[in-house]
Structure formats: C-alpha cells, structure tokens
Structure 1
C-alpha cells in the first residue's frame, strides 16, 4: 500500500463525516483533527476498518484550565502498512467528562483508558473495568489536572534576598 498524504486522509474523513471533522493542523507532520464526543466511535471505527489504521498508539488527555472546554481526550492512531499517523481530539467540559469507550474497537484501549481515568478523571462509558491503575484506589484527586499551584507559596528557600536580589 502506498503512503497516503495528510491531505488525502483529511479528504477521506471529510467525505465520510463532513463538518463533524474539524482539521486543527499538522504539527510536526502529524495530521490533527477534532470531532465531537458523539462521533468519536464512528470516526475511530472508520479509521480502523476502512482506512486500515489498525494500531492504537495511545489514548491520553490534556487539561487546559484556561479554556471553556477544559479537557481534550486525544487518540493517536497509526496505519502501519501506509506509514501514516493521525491524532483525533475530543473536547470535554469539566462538568461532563464522559466519553464512549474504544475497547470495542481496540482491546488494547482498556489499559490506556484506565490510565487516562486515573490521571485525569475522564470517565469512559461502557468500559469493562474502569478503575485506578497507577494510584491507590482511595485517592480522591487526579494528579495530572492543573488544579494546584506549581510551587508551594510558603517555601522560603527561593526568596530573592537569599540570592542578593
């Protein structure tokens, strides 16, 4: 199979899904598109079954505390035969961090979704065993959320007068 360009891939996706696919650019040559939560399973299923993107490289999330939709769930998918990768994003609000599971498409999504839940608190609806995987079970916070200051404001070892300023 010949390598498919990002333009051809985007044309195939927009031909199938129309304005439900929003192109975000090609940082470092990686085509990035955004879709809605309602369309993610259809988009991922189409990528796997029709476009031969058989390898789910990663599922993760990003927390943007300054945006209206503070969370983005990110899927990296790879067409091994064609040597093409794509990044698919879904934006979620803080009040509703539910998204359908991709375990029915790729069984390997199981552990990736558990990790994303454990670190960001994203709830994957329909997941067979959504529980913490890296942190203790009774932990109430999600460590990758940007909800806390980067440094302790009470630290005195970083005061300017210690450095002659």
Structure 2
C-alpha cells in the first residue's frame, strides 16, 4: 500500500483546507468588527426605540431651521436634527464642516447622552447641484477649462 495520496485527492484536500481557512478568516473578522459597526438611525427611529447609551450610532436627517446655537465656549454647538416626523437635539464640539447650515442634510456620528445625541463627528451633505466656491463665479466655459486643466495636470 502506498502512503501518499493521489494528485486528485491532494487537490481535494487542498480545496477543503482553503475553504476552511477562508470561512475561519471571515468569522474572525466578523467577531472582531461586531462592536465597531455603527447603526444608522433617523430621528423617528431614535424617538420610537432609542439605542443604548454609549452605543455608536449615526443619526441622519435635516438640520432644523433656526436650531443652530453656539455655546459660550465658542466650540460647542447645539442643533436639532429632524426627518419631518420627529426631532432629536444634538450637541457637538469640534470643527464644523463648511457645508453645515440650517436646512441642509447632516449625518452625526456619536451616541445618545442623557438629554441629547452627543456627536463626535459631523458629515454635511450637499445636493446634486454642489459647486466648489472657486467655480461659482465662472461661466460654464471657464469651468470646463479649469476642469480640463486639472485633469491634464493629474495625468502628468
């Protein structure tokens, strides 16, 4: 009797071992990231079923008109995020994105505090008509020329 496996059986064993390793790596990655996932909520979801305090979540909606208020320290702001059905107060300390204004879309990353959502990061949304400040005062032909020059410079 021969102690070695036939080439056909060697390939089969190799495929089975590779599948086991891939499945194991996937399970390990899922286990490691289980606490890193942040769920996305809209104000209606938070009002109906608030997340656990301290749980990392994202709150998305529109900044309510007239709700942005700067605190005395000059760094902290309070505002309200709404989805048209419910509103959630938000508190944020840090650098505010340029596109963050009343009536615009925002995604706040953070967790629920005792009285408000405590944001650690703000992502301001822009609409599909967004245009950089540098291009706003140019004609369409000038805008196309600047874009073409930028592409040419990047290609080099």
TM-score range, shorter chain: under 0.3
TM-score by length of 2: 0.26
TM-score by length of 1: 0.25
Indicate the structure (1 or 2) with the bigger Cα radius of gyration: 2
Identify the structure with the greater helix proportion: 2
